[in-house]
Chains A and B, each alone.
Chain A
Amino acid sequence: MGLLGPVMIIVWKDVLLELRSRDLIISVVVFGLLVVVVFNFALNNTPGRSEELAPGILWAAFAFAAVLAMNRAFVRDQEQGGLEGLLISPVSRDAIFLGKALTSLIFMLLVEAALLPVYAVMLDFSALSWTLLLTIFLGTLGFAVVGTLFSAMAVQTRSREIMLPVLFFPVLLPVIIAAVEASTRAVGGETFIGLGRWLPLIGVFDALFLVICPWVFAFVVEE
């Protein structure tokens, strides 16, 4: 069996479960909205300052929302035995990891797609910039890949809700910084070239995570 087939089966199952329960995406969207409202007032965002503040608020909201979403990535599988079912199937650990990471990426992008227009209005910036959308995609890819690995680690601990952010934020700090810098330039109307080294930096981190995380995942889920 190849890699793509099992990956898509895992995605199909997770999407079907989410459609049935609807307990993840809606709560993360609501949480994301609350974060941006709180930051908007806490940082005293005014029309003149929004170009400066909006990218930081945007990525703070995305990062917190990602932690909330990632905390749930393996909970259902762990509680109902689905992870064990996957581990005793002939599907490779790489496929399991990539399936879960792709599901997380899809869920996060859906959440961001719901939040972005609201943010654009509240924070006064143009969401319809390809450079901004590309930055969001690459940053979210990093969140999904690293978050999936750490979620698999955290779900096996008693204090999983605390464990995930403690692991997640330090490792993703370079991605968050690069994403904020690239978004600041994108919101300022810069073209792809104008984003400088920040976008390639996120790409390099994503590529590194995509190589390292599936490999580490096999050890994490092995008893």
Chain B
Amino acid sequence: MEAHRLTNNDVNMRRPEVVMAPQRLGAMHSNRISFVRTLIRKMAQQKWQVTKDLWQLSAQGFGHVIYKLKTPHHIYHLVVFCNEIEDDERNDRVIAEKWDVTFALVYGEVSEQLLAQLQANVPLQEAGRNPTNVLVLARANKSVRVFEHIVSHLAEGKQPTSDELVDVGYILRTTAVYGNGKFGIADFKILENNPDFKQSFSAQMCAVYLLREFSLDWIDYLAKQKGGEKASPLSNDLKRYLGVGNATGLGMAPYLINHPCVVDQWMSNREAALTLVLDCPADLAKHQALLFLLNKAVCHLQQVNTQNQNQEQLNHCSVNELQRFNGQLKDLISVSNTWRDLLNGTEHLSLETQEILISCLMEIYPELVDNFQDQVNTHESLNLAKGKKVNDLLLLLNEKYRWAIETDFSKPENNYWFWYRSQDKEEPRLGVRGEEIGEERELPLDIGRQVYRLYYALLACPAEMSLAEFLLQKPQYRTIARRVWTLGNKVMGDIQMNVLHKQSLPMHLLRCKLSFFGATKFDPRSDRWVRVSFFQGAPLLNEIHDGEWLFPVLPQQAVLEKSTEVAIERSSIGESGIDKSAIDDLTTVDKESSK
């Protein structure tokens, strides 16, 4: 395998020990090349068409619905099944067996036979089997409180109150979105040459975006059923504010450890884009655009309701830091040669604040950053190079894996957790070593400890011994040796986290992946699962555009009241996705906060 060749851009990148530190990964925010953003740009630029193909719902909203998606290359359908479930059956965890909504993104036409097959299997989710023309299989539950609030208000001809919406921010919350060959559906390989969905996770993101449209159509339909002539549709401002919720748990964490080349590619790609931005002269002409986004971030964080005290404090801290920072922004730009200088000057601020600034800086350079949006796929094979010596691997470990070899794994706190899979739908779990059952079935996610053991095994051998000879004698180290050789020669490499450590937080891993997807509004419900929103603030299907929608904020109350008055008359076509009044409002917030 060829070692990665450094380019000028690589040389200027932030160091892997900075970028791949778990706390920083756990502070990431979405940016303009997050997958949902890339998808919406593509849909807008290529003028993808979505139509309601079939609407077979009862007055109570149960039944099935089909949306047709037409791209310049292919036709797809989103098939949605709405089922009546009891409140006590509604469970976000993987072990659930019933859901309010189940859905599938299908390649090509949906014949009656296929519809019958989907009807028999999609609602069963993991317990069903689906054909390979299904690209995505997923399910979602209602946010009951928001759902009923919105429908009852609209039925009365009123718009819902913003307080209720700001608490949640979505109508439906996905609890699993499966792709890549799960439960019989198409392997990702099939999409390799598909221009629409060849980027990993893009089909899943598209299915969720179409589900958002369905959720909005659904509440308008139910309000009309309930209120008749009196009912009013939800205003477009509020529709735009509502995304799709998502509950993500521990199951996502092993993905990041088991797919290190993918994580390296995502992180390296983001860093490459960021590096181009940071190398640009700090330009006062960009001040207003940057300030607008940073103010929007403040407003966004102020509107995030979380019961998690730690996240609440982090958000509060960022709000305070950003408000001070924003007040000085013009002066700071004036004294910075490049944006890198500006970013370096924020090292004393929290990681959340630094990451917000990074997302905002990337946002104002679409001409530099968007070129990286299609570079998220990579080969995943882990290989050793021919002709290497024990010393070659030792040198690499000393250079790239200090975080692992300098951890003392003889200390109990560094081995505190073990990861295992429980019989409950094979969900990954964390157990306390020595206290809980299952240690003998521990999953090999302990990359740091494996590296540490490899290092000391190598040290015990002659430095000039060939690596092949070493592995012939000690084959148990070949898997980790392949990994460190491959990742050690990549730009960012492995996540630098001992997942066995007592203080290790899986949440950092979840946040990292969700940020790449484009999630917002992080609401950790414990240190092991989190609720987020997707597509909040995203343009609606009938107004789709490739403009920005970073850090979604609630439309101001005045806009809402006005919306209520005009919602019925308002044409749903041709509205701008950019909320100009919100910009004015944010400017006001900034002025008030700096007083």
Note whether A and B form a binding pair: no
Q: Which residues of B contact A (CB under 8 A)?
A: none
Mark A residues whose CB is within 8 Å of B. none
